[in-house]
Amino acid sequence: MSYKLLKDGSLLKDGSTIPADERNADYREYLAWVAAGNVPEPYAEPEPTYAQRRAAAYPTIGDQLDMIYHDRVNGTTNWQDAISAVKARYPK
């Protein structure tokens, strides 16, 4: 029997989630398991997916609109350059 801590403080045991609530019999069983000297597997933040990394690399919509405005006023290509850099780094 082993337990894994989850991000919200609940536990995972045999594919089932156990809320951190002392009214729950499974949680009381977990507390007894810990009291006996056992240690649960710690929570590990999952690695972001490729799509999540790509989406996070884009400037915010507000920043993109600001770039587009200034590009039109100044005759620059900052917006296009920023978007092209993300697409080059994270191609589909």
pLDDT number for residue 14: 92
Exposed/middle/buried for residue 36 (C-beta within 10 Å: 0-12, 13-18, 19+): exposed
pLDDT tens digits along 16-54: 999 999 999 999 999 999 999 999 999 999 999 999 999
What crossing angle do the helices spanning 50-57 and 78-89 adopt, rounded to 10°?
A: 170
Given a contact cutoff of 8 angstroms between Cβ atoms, the answer to whether 11 and 30 are in contact is yes
State if pTM tops 0.85: no
38 Cβ contact list (under 8 Å, min separation 6): 3
